[in-house]
Structure 1
Amino acid sequence: MGLPWYRVHTVVLNDPGRLLSVHIMHTALVAGWAGSMALYELAVFDPSDPVLDPMWRQGMFVIPFMTRLGITNSWGGWSITGGTITNPGIWSYEGVAGAHIVFSGLCFLAAIWHWVYWDLEIFCDERTGKPSLDLPKIFGIHLFLSGVACFGFGAFHVTGLYGPGIWVSDPYGLTGRVQSVNPAWGVEGFDPFVPGGIASHHIAAGTLGILAGLFHLSVRPPQRLYKGLRMGNIETVLSSSIAAVFFAAFVVAGTMWYGSATTPIELFGPTRYQWDQGYFQQEIYRRVGAGLAENQSLSEAWSKIPEKLAFYDYIGNNPAKGGLFRAGSMDNGDGIAVGWLGHPIFRDKEGRELFVRRMPTFFETFPVVLVDGDGIVRADVPFRRAESKYSVE
């Protein structure tokens, strides 16, 4: 009897050796893709201007993730923070990509070996001599090992105890760099924008996973619970695993779209809400106001605005702009920025300073509307002259 496409995994239903083989092959494919994609991105990436042509403007995908974990140097002699280096070390961007490809090849060979030598004694039940899987024990092993990895990442890698730390920046994405992070064990650890929560949550979750793994390794489930949750069914394992992956993907999708400490602005770019709320614009005006309070001229105050901060407050960097079906990098859409010309000041005949009304995210086009400090419209440049009420023409 033929199987429908969505049930083909039943081929390895009662075959523990080949079930292991396809899992290893899946890991090989994931690692191979990651390494290959990293090499491709490195081939097309231009590191010359990290301020006006950062990785997120160039449409990079895996380079930001490597950088977030502490990789900043290339065997090509450049650093992601700008400038040149002489000794990038083994764990450069190319080193990480190569390690993934080598790991992928080893997993590929291991998968073939386990597919050929599937009938191993270790997979047979001592009582019956037939292949069987002790799924509750396998669950305990997986939980224990993932707990160790989770704990190790938080306690050693993120904290810098045995590792580089992670990419940490200020709220406006201006001073980002790789540094060690101390765990945040107070209520501040639940703030998604506090890097210390990354360390503490991994340590706590890893500890819980280790304890839960040891529990499932040493305690057998009662028969009623075993049958009620269908613990002996490989379909249950598959469905519950997909549910766990969905939960992780759901959390990551939320942090990517709304922003968090795990998605630094320098690596992944600003969010649409930072444009909608005038997040960077408010900081720019605050700095200008502080400069004027120090008796600087208006021109001097504006000249001290960091080019990176001004560039963030550009509508082309709003990830929700450019159309629903925009493909490719932002550079392909509106080119590469070469510099900031400055800030134009508009005034009406009464001498009031006017500000350009920010274009809402979901508008494809929008008229130029100039408002005063109280939000009152004082001038506009509409699409059709007949509609002009306060036109600057």
Structure 2
Amino acid sequence: MQTYGNPDITYGWWAGNSGVTNRSGKFIAAHAAHTGLICFAAGGSTLWELARFDPSVPMGHQSSIFLAHLASIGIGFDEAGVWTGAGVATIAILHLIFSMVYGGGGLLHSLLFPGDMQDSEVVQARKFKLEWGNPDNQTFILGHHLIFFGVACAWFVEWARVHGIYDPAIGAIRQVNYNLDLTMIWHRQFDFLAIDSLEDVMGGHAFLAFAEITGGALHVVAGSTPWEKKRLGEYSKFKGAELLSAEAVLSWSLAGIGWMAIVAAFWCATNTTVYPEAWYGEPLQLKFTVCPYWIDTVDLQGGGAFWGHTTRAALSNVHYYLGFFFLQGHFWHALRALGFDFSKVSASIGNEKNATFTIDS
């Protein structure tokens, strides 16, 4: 974290990142605890939506965001193919149980395990220490993240192929095989909002799984190969040795999640294949005053909509505005990582207010 030239600076409790900047053990504790909070929110919200669900009102008109996501991947249907919420409570309770497991892991890493992984007695654990000026250390950690993401994508592809997901074209659950057409995947980069084939969706996930797992493996071994060690200085510079810092990594993370949130907002607002109308409600209309926003195209009076909006409207607008503020955080931390001193801005404003001007006679 940038200290503006003051090595003895003390951050307030709200600057949570300052406490984990150079302490990899605390960093892992924060990650585990954060995952526990997400699991708890998912499980609790799913139970809340299930408790207030009204079968006589379309799901998309009840702002049932978590139920809609589960229905989209084929969960909650009876043997006749009708959505009844079967098994949803079990999944919600499992999330609540996992939240306690993750929370316990966060407490263990925070209170019992070393605050810095380089102090761990486990040899393998010491490899996950944080060395911001060492690109090989950073790529090693990045590689594991990519592999986990790739495995998640592969799991989703197999789920669709073996269990099946909801196809709005036929209004039922069906098994979906992936279409691994590289030409299609390339062109879908530019018209993904209009995608209308679940096979193409799974093909994109299959390709992404391969790319992430392969890239992750390469990042894990990067720096440990003989040909790299011979030219360590050159390759370290290529990997961004002069760019790495806690602020920089945080800014890149915020940029990634912010951009994904905005893309998801536009996608959810109009696409009825990935976001079926039966679960999310009707497509939205884009409006613009000071900034873009989406409004419902149906009258929801008398329905069970939460705050008077469809699931699609709630999901799209919340994603867009969260993404917008994430990007503001990206710019803030990116500028700090580049050395911009924000304290000079307030100082300059104060000098302007206190300045006196004279006019020569």
Name the TM tier (shorter chain). Answer: 0.5 to 0.7
The one-letter code sitting in structure 2 at the alignment partner of 1:108 is G
Distance 1:131 1:264 in 2: 41
Distance 2:28 2:110 in 1: 8
Aligned residues: 264
Residue-by-residue CA offset, 1:186-238 (whole Å, 9 max, x unaligned): 4666351111112111110010001101111111272223455523x222222
| Structure 2, gaps ≥5 residues long | 1-8, 131-136, 189-193, 224-231, 287-294, 310-361
Q: Please list, as runs of the form range in 1=range in 2, the aligned pairs for 1:1-393 lying within 5 A after superposition.
A: 1-3=9-11, 7-47=15-55, 49=56, 53-73=57-77, 81=82, 88=86, 92-119=87-114, 122-124=117-119, 132-133=129-130, 134-154=137-157, 156-160=158-162, 164-170=163-169, 175-186=170-181, 190=188, 192-220=195-223, 222-228=235-241, 230-231=243-244, 233-272=245-284, 319-320=296-297, 329-330=304-305
Distance 1:79 1:99 in 2: 25
**How many Å apart are 1:130 and its aligned residue?**
12
- Shift in alpha-carbon separation, 1:322–1:234, aligned structure 2, 3 A: farther
Residue-by-residue CA offset, 1:88-126 (whole Å, 9 max, x unaligned): 5xxx11011011101101001111011012317853498
The one-letter code sitting in structure 2 at the alignment partner of 1:158 is A
Residue-by-residue CA offset, 1:46-66 (whole Å, 9 max, x unaligned): 12x3xxx11111221110001
**How many Å apart are 1:149 and its aligned residue?**
1.6
- Shift in alpha-carbon separation, 1:131–1:249, aligned structure 2, 3 A: closer
Distance 1:199 1:131 in 2: 33
2:25–2:116: 8 Å Cα contact kept in structure 1? Answer: no
**How many Å apart are 1:333 and its aligned residue?**
5.4
Distance 1:320 1:5 in 2: 44
Distance 2:60 2:268 in 1: 13
The one-letter code sitting in structure 1 at the alignment partner of 2:49 is E
Higher RCO (Cα < 8 Å, 6 or more apart): 2
Distance 2:117 2:91 in 1: 34
Distance 2:127 2:264 in 1: 42
Distance 1:145 1:333 in 2: 38
2:128–2:141: 8 Å Cα contact kept in structure 1? Answer: no
Q: Which has the higher helix share?
A: 2
2:74–2:164: 8 Å Cα contact kept in structure 1? Answer: yes
Q: Secondary structure at the match of 1:167?
A: strand
Distance 1:21 1:118 in 2: 9
- Shift in alpha-carbon separation, 1:262–1:144, aligned structure 2, 3 A: same
- Shift in alpha-carbon separation, 1:157–1:252, aligned structure 2, 3 A: same
**What's the RMSD between the two structures over aligned residues?**
3.3
The one-letter code sitting in structure 2 at the alignment partner of 1:247 is W
Distance 2:206 2:128 in 1: 37
- Shift in alpha-carbon separation, 1:62–1:121, aligned structure 2, 3 A: closer
Distance 2:263 2:248 in 1: 23
Distance 2:201 2:37 in 1: 28
Identical pairs, percent: 23
Distance 2:281 2:275 in 1: 8
**How many Å apart are 1:5 and its aligned residue?**
6.9
- Shift in alpha-carbon separation, 1:185–1:135, aligned structure 2, 3 A: closer
**How many Å apart are 1:132 and its aligned residue?**
3.5
Distance 1:58 1:120 in 2: 45
Q: Secondary structure at the match of 2:59?
A: coil
**How many Å apart are 1:70 and its aligned residue?**
1.4
The one-letter code sitting in structure 2 at the alignment partner of 1:111 is G
**How many Å apart are 1:145 and its aligned residue?**
1.6
Please give the TM-score of this superposition, normalised by the length of structure 2.
0.65
Q: Secondary structure at the match of 2:166?
A: strand
The one-letter code sitting in structure 2 at the alignment partner of 1:167 is Y
2:144–2:216: 8 Å Cα contact kept in structure 1? Answer: yes
Distance 2:91 2:127 in 1: 42
Distance 1:130 1:197 in 2: 39
- Shift in alpha-carbon separation, 1:114–1:4, aligned structure 2, 3 A: closer
Distance 1:108 1:181 in 2: 36
Please give the TM-score of this superposition, normalised by the length of structure 1.
0.60
Q: Secondary structure at the match of 2:10?
A: coil
- Shift in alpha-carbon separation, 1:130–1:144, aligned structure 2, 3 A: closer
2:161–2:175: 8 Å Cα contact kept in structure 1? Answer: yes
Distance 1:331 1:246 in 2: 25
**How many Å apart are 1:36 and its aligned residue?**
0.2
Distance 1:204 1:69 in 2: 19
The one-letter code sitting in structure 1 at the alignment partner of 2:237 is R
Distance 1:139 1:96 in 2: 30
